[in-house]
Structure 1
């Protein structure tokens, strides 16, 4: 069973049909929507500020979501995939976003809808990522506009697949 702990009297809250891997950790001021999944060794740590997650968010193996004490909570929209070993910290992620494997999204970043943060990218503090774009590199920069094919073929497909994968474990 996942490790779920209160911090300062705040216990994580979960929507309907969420899957929490047995060795995932979710603590503190976390509110998660429906059809979300937190995979093996995933950590969602709402101990020093809030974390809000919409529906159909998947936090893949080894990923970490955190926030910054007295500064930045973390808000994640609907239909968001956070890739294996990614770090999402004190930022705002809008709807229909793919955060690639081992990407880092730092404090006070805003990632607008229909955007891909490429695997290994480092999105520096205070960056605003335009809607409908792909960001890559260290530091991450916009590399191109995203096609409708990538929105449906990658962003939506991955989010939908993770709802299906979670069903395999219930």
Structure 2
């Protein structure tokens, strides 16, 4: 389901794809060749959500924003199943693992990772070449998965998305009209 909320209209690149069981509401922008999978929710009702190119937002992930702070996910990222991101920045070629929570003010620098189940508390900055792990998460040096691994995974989701498009499942970039709300 893709919904405008008042004057806030989702902007979905013509080459991006949204599964019919995903929800995209309001001030959301989805970049080229990105994909939003079943059960994912991108709720741009309080503020902006920006998704870069070739990024997959996988099953049951939730992205939300706040009135003063956007939620930003860069290019070539993987937001895994059940991940949660709110008012945070995820730079290019990052992996947000299964069930990871990236809380307001946290930042994953390009090529970094939030491990499965990690909870990144406010203002935690994870440098490139590091993985945030634990509850609360701490950043530790890590060479796996590395940036190349994440980018290959992102490309695999572009290919998977094409299979779904060819099968007639979901929508590619759509024109949503504003509602009266």
**TM > 0.5:** yes
Q: Distance in 1 between matches of 2:123 and 2:100?
A: 16
**Cα shift readout 1:4-60 (whole Å, capped 9, x = no counterpart):** 111131110011311111110001001111001000001100010001111011000
Cα pair 1:115 1:146 within 8 Å, conserved: no
Q: Distance in 1 between matches of 2:91 and 2:45?
A: 22
Q: CA RMSD in A?
A: 1.2
> Which of 127, 144, 163 is equivalent to 1:168?
163
Partner of 2:102: 105
Q: Distance in 2 between matches of 1:137 and 1:86?
A: 14
Q: Distance in 1 between matches of 2:86 and 2:6?
A: 20
Deviating 4+ runs (over 6 angstroms): none
Shift of 1:111: 0.9
Partner of 2:43: 45
Gaps of 5+ in 1: none
> Which of 8, 13, 26 is equivalent to 2:6?
8
Q: Distance in 2 between matches of 1:126 and 1:142?
A: 12
After TM superposition, the structure 1 stretch with the greater mean CA deviation from structure 2, 9-18 or 28-37, is 9-18
Partner of 2:89: 92
Shift of 1:165: 0.7
- The count of aligned residue pairs is 165
Partner of 2:75: 78
> Are positions 1:156 and 2:151 aligned together?
yes
Q: Distance in 1 between matches of 2:106 and 2:25?
A: 23
Partner of 2:176: none
TM-score, length-scaled by structure 1: 0.93
Larger RCO (alpha carbons 8 Å, 6+ apart): 2
Q: Distance in 1 between matches of 2:122 and 2:89?
A: 12
> Relative to total residues, which structure has the larger strand share, 1 or 2?
1
Shift of 1:67: 0.9
Shift of 1:143: 2.3
Gaps of 5+ in 2: 166-181
